[in-house]
């Protein structure tokens, strides 16, 4: 299968007031690349994903700095003659990774491809949906209602960024970072940031502008249990694959008269496996492709 992934970091930069990175756009592409290799083409190179661009990108233009950057090494992705390839229907699918921010080639693509071969991904924090959903398969991150032709999607974590089976003893109840308290944002090194969660029983996380947040997945990927106040209010179709009920069980352990470490281990084992099965970049990308093939 050959996929054209339409994106443009320059347009993302303008739409996001100075950031070239877009977690959903970038990580979905990376998951597709894990599955398909050079058969998936980013129409404009997502420069924050490529190792050979790291020294060329201003760090101030990448949001967060951890987990979603510098993941792709040597490759043979061919971005030549994209318009002609669209005309010839060289690609099997065309995916717009951030339809709210980049619609390059859309007039041509919509003329040459049937609607079910054009997938639109909407990763913005707002819950509104573009009218395009009425015609094209539409993947929405902050999805609050069940809408025909609209499918839930979420952030994800590259499996290579996850800690292996636990070997480090827990040394602290909570991770250092307290969302919203800038003085606790002390990590400039990705591995030290991950290790801090790995050493903790719980990682505090919250809803931000939207419910979905990379921190949720970084906590889970480092064998730590998200402590998520207000999680019960999260709509069912938002973070639809997030193990909400299991996390609630794990949170309750903290409020027991006596902390049950064995039960914590059981819950954490299930959470970690769920993350591997459903919340990695590869798993989310496979779900998108499987959905497209079923249409």
pLDDT-derived band at 73 (thresholds 50, 70, 90) equals: very high
Which residues pair with residue 151 across a beta bridge? 139
Residue 164 pLDDT? 77
Residue 167 has pLDDT above 70, yes or no: no
* Helices 23-36 and 281-294: angle between axes, nearest 10 degrees: 80
For 13, counting Cβ atoms within 10 Å of its Cβ (0-12 exposed, 13-18 middle, 19+ buried), the class is middle
Residue 168 has pLDDT above 80, yes or no: no
pLDDT-derived band at 290 (thresholds 50, 70, 90) equals: very high
pLDDT-derived band at 240 (thresholds 50, 70, 90) equals: very high
The 10s digit of each residue's pLDDT in 39-71 is 999 999 999 999 999 999 999 999 888 999 999
The 10s digit of each residue's pLDDT in 135-145 is 999 999 999 99
The Cα 260–Cα 1 span in angstroms is: 48
Residue 64 pLDDT? 84
pTM of the model: 0.96
The 10s digit of each residue's pLDDT in 110-162 is 999 999 999 999 999 999 999 999 999 999 999 999 999 999 999 999 999 99
Residue 231 has pLDDT above 70, yes or no: yes
* Residue 41 near residue 77, CB atoms below 8 Å: yes
Half-sphere exposure of 253 (CA within 13 A, CB side): 20
Residue 165 pLDDT? 65
pLDDT-derived band at 228 (thresholds 50, 70, 90) equals: very high
CA proximity to 246, closest of 221, 258, 261, 263: 263
* Residue 24 near residue 97, CB atoms below 8 Å: yes
In order of start, what are the domains of the chain with their CATH numbers?
3-156+282-294 (3.40.50), 163-278 (no CATH)
Tokens read off for 78: 């061919």
The 10s digit of each residue's pLDDT in 201-227 is 999 999 989 999 999 999 999 999 999
């Amino acid at each position: 299968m050959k996929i054209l992934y339409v994106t443009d970091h320059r347009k993302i930069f303008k739409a996001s007031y100075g950031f070239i990175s877009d977690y959903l756009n970038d990580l979905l592409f990376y998951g597709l690349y894990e599955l398909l290799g050079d058969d998936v083409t980013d129409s404009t190179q997502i420069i924050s994903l490529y190792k050979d661009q790291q020294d060329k990108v201003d760090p101030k233009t990448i949001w967060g700095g951890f987990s979603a950057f510098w993941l792709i090494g040597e490759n043979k992705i061919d971005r030549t003659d994209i318009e002609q390839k669209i005309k010839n229907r060289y690609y099997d699918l065309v995916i717009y990774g951030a339809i709210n921010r980049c619609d390059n080639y859309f007039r041509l693509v919509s003329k040459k491809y049937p609607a079910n071969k054009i997938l639109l991904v909407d990763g913005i924090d707002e819950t509104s949906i573009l009218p395009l959903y009425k015609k094209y398969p539409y993947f929405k991150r902050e999805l609050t209602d069940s809408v025909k032709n609209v499918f839930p999607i979420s952030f994800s974590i590259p499996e290579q960024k996850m800690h292996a089976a636990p070997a480090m003893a827990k040394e602290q109840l909570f991770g250092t970072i307290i969302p919203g308290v800038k003085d606790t944002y002390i990590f400039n090194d990705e591995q030290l940031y991950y290790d801090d969660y790995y050493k903790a029983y719980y990682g505090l996380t919250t809803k931000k502008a939207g419910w979905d947040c990379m921190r949720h997945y970084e906590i889970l990927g480092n064998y730590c249990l998200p402590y998520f106040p207000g999680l019960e209010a999260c709509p069912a179709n938002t973070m639809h694959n997030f193990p909400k009920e299991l996390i609630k069980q794990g949170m309750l352990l903290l409020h027991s008269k006596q902390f049950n470490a064995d039960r914590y281990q059981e819950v954490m084992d299930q959470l970690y496996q769920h993350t591997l099965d459903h919340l990695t970049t590869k798993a989310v990308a496979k779900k998108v492709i499987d959905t497209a093939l079923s249409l």
